[in-house]
Amino acid sequence: MQADYPQYNTAEELVESSDLVFTGTVKNIEYQMIDVSTGEGPDEDTGFVDDEEMPYTLYTIDVDRVYKGSIDSSTIIVKRAGGSFGDDEYVVENASEISKGKNYLFVTETYEDTYPSLLNADQSSYDLDALQTVYGRGRKRNYVI
């Protein structure tokens, strides 16, 4: 699948474009066909205008800490276009991997009457257990954050 997501040049731009930034552990992953059309123009995630159900992956996350926005519960469900349905798998090009049991930083946008969405496929989830490369003052260092 190809989706027309915005790309961000800095972490500041990414966070400013979101309304919910938090860390948490993925407890469950499931797939659902969701009609996300609003009747008010193209869908924010996919650009589709029709009242057509789209494949989505739903991530159930135990929230550790909220950095921007608010969450009314200690658990939240976040959606991203794509998913597995029967023998078919819909994968958004360049999407970052999100795995059950791992801890991530999520950058999302909330919409009325549906689950919050990751801002884009490759800049909205960061594996906090993975080795991160940090550049500073001309030197490259690897850290686990």
Average pLDDT over residues 130-138: 59
- What does 88-121 look like in DSSP terms, one character per residue? EEE--TTPPP--TT-EEEEEEE--TTS--EESSS
CATH number at residue 78: 2.40.50.120
Task: Specify if 6 maps to a domain.
Answer: no
Contact predicate 100/90, CB 8 Å? no
How many independent structural domains does the chain possess? 1
pTM: 0.77
Averaging pLDDT over each range in 5-9, 69-73, 120-124, 136-140, which range is the top one? 69-73
pLDDT surpassing 50 at residue 96: yes
Backbone dihedral angles phi then psi of residue 13, each to the nearest 5 degrees: -60, -40
Does residue 25 sit within a domain?
yes
**How much is the pLDDT for 145?**
43
pLDDT value at 21 more than 90: yes
Can you tell me the distance from the alpha carbon of 95 to that of 125, in angstroms, rounded to the nearest whole number? 10
End-to-end, the C-alpha distance of the chain in Å comes to 31
> Could you tell me which residue, 125 or 133, shows the higher pLDDT?
125
- Say if 4 falls within a structural domain: no
What's the whole-number average pLDDT of the chain? 81
d(CA 97, CA 84): 14
Q: Does any domain span residue 3? A: no
Q: Domain for residue 55, yes or no?
A: yes
Percentage of the chain lying above the pLDDT 70 cut: 74
Is 132 part of a structural domain of the chain?
A: yes
- Spatial separation of the C-alpha atoms in residues 58 and 40, rounded to whole Å: 24
Kindly state whether residue 2 falls inside one of the protein's structural domains.
Answer: no
Residues spanned by the domain of 116: 11-144
Q: What is the pLDDT of residue 43?
A: 57
The tokens for 129 are 């257990």
Higher pLDDT, 133 or 100: 100
Q: Which H or E element spans position 12?
A: helix 11-17
Residue 98: inside a domain, yes or no?
yes
